[in-house]
């Protein structure tokens, strides 16, 4: 099988894509948080602010399901591709965190209707 070499310019572009995307996401999150902060300040000044309730049980359930699913897929794929190796930790760590969040979500007392 013949291996094709990428040009140096293509290698630079490929290396910059993750850096630029992570930087863009960080800037976007910063400005969204800043916007929400100013909006909350104005609501407090006008007297229309009411604090929002955060549903911890639903958040841990959703996050746990997402992490457990991603971790399971990664662990299975790395096990099939490389066998038992250190690379499997990239799947087992999110799987363990997701399982812990699911256990917490199940054991957390909540308002069940």
DSSP 47: T
Structure tokens, 43: 């609501």
DSSP 59: H
Instruction: List the pLDDT tens digit at each of the 113 positions of the chain.
Output: 566 888 989 889 989 999 999 999 999 999 999 999 999 999 999 999 998 888 999 999 999 999 999 999 999 999 999 888 888 889 999 999 999 999 999 998 766 54
Q: Is 50 exposed, middle or buried (0-12, 13-18, 19+ CB in 10 A)?
A: exposed
Residue with tokens 């909006």, as numbered in its chain = 39
Torsion (CA) 39, 42, 48, 50 in degrees, nearest 10: 50
């Amino acid at each position: 099988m013949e291996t094709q070499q990428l040009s140096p310019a293509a290698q630079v572009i490929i290396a910059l894509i993750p850096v630029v995307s992570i930087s863009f996401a960080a800037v976007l999150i910063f400005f969204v948080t800043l916007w929400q902060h100013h909006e909350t300040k104005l609501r407090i000044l006008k007297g229309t602010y009411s604090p929002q309730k955060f549903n911890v049980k639903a958040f841990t359930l959703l996050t746990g399901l997402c992490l457990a699913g991603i971790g399971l897929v990664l662990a299975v794929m790395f096990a099939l591709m490389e066998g038992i190796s250190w690379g499997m930790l990239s799947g087992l760590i999110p799987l363990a965190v997701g399982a812990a969040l699911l256990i917490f979500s199940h054991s957390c007392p909540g308002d069940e209707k």
